[in-house]
Structure 1
Amino acid sequence: MAQKEGRCVKKGHEEGMRKAVSLLEKFELPLGLLPLGNVREVGFDRNTGYMWIIQEKVVEHKFESISKLFIYDTEINGYIKKKKIEKLNGVREGEPVSQIEVDDSSTGKIHFKSREGGIVKTFPVEAFAAGQ
């Protein structure tokens, strides 16, 4: 683990996966939101909320309960905060996703906003639970 001025970097698949899951838990996001493969590095800057993930290859994952295919690039980054990831890069569902937000209320919904046109797609949050 390397730390510099609020930054925490985990190298390797096991350490990286633990860090990615801990970030999802800490910021109250579904644990299955980022199905990653062969993680090289996961980093997080506590001062800015900036997080990044580097994995060896592109991961395509179909969330069966909603029949949607998401593509996770070799580099994923954005700003993570409670129930939200903003300025997201490296995630696509048809179009690039720029923001993911979980409702603050008990509606059980998660929203994906596209980069182009600001189209918002809403799904049940349980579709992104661990193991999905």
Structure 2
Amino acid sequence: MSAQFIEKYRENAEIYTGSDICKQKSKELLLEINMPNGLLPMDDIEEVGYNRSTGFVWLTQKKPIQHRFTKIGKQVSYDTHVTAFVENRKMKKLHGVKAKEILIWITLNEICIDDPSSGKITFGTPTGISRIYPISAFEVEEDEKK
């Protein structure tokens, strides 16, 4: 998803810049939509935007990163622009996130929690294939909170 697409949603959006506030706002957003707080483990975020009227969210970072979710043994790649349309317990039309399956990178386009009581989160691909994992694998302890 290009920066040009982000420009379409900037008007009326809440926009934050700077690594520390962006990291905080990305976690707050995840909590607000009832998603695990460790789902977007991006460190060097330059900008976070949230257009509440459309549900469009974007995160921009200096360079792509890879993160290993150790509890499930999965490597995930986050591009310089990560975008999605969000609603309660759901991220749709997700762009900029890929998961490694054996030797290939698979694009993810949806993340949702259909039934919170199940303790499961589903990751979908554009081909309709999905994987289900425990929500706890994407939660981060908040020991850094002051």
Structure-2-length-normalised TM-score: 0.83
Equivalent residue of 2:131, what SS? Answer: strand
Residue 112 of structure 2 is aligned to residue 101 of structure 1: yes
Aligned twin of 1:110: 121
Aligned twin of 2:27: 21
- Give distance in 2, aligned partners of 1:129 and 1:6: 30
Residue 97 of structure 2 is aligned to residue 91 of structure 1: yes
Aligned twin of 1:128: 138
1:17-36 Cα offsets, whole Å, 9 max, x none, are 11111100100000000000
Letter in 1 for 2:43: G
Equivalent residue of 2:71, what SS? Answer: helix
Letter in 2 for 1:40: E
Q: CA deviation at 1:67?
A: 0.6
Whichever structure has more strand as a proportion of its residues is 1
- Give distance in 1, aligned partners of 2:52 and 2:12: 5
Question: Aligned residues: percent identity?
Answer: 35
Q: Is contact 1:60-1:72 (8 Å) kept?
A: yes
- Give distance in 2, aligned partners of 1:105 and 1:40: 31
Structure-1-length-normalised TM-score: 0.92
Q: What root-mean-square deviation, in Å, do the aligned CA atoms of Structure 1 and Structure 2 show?
A: 1.3
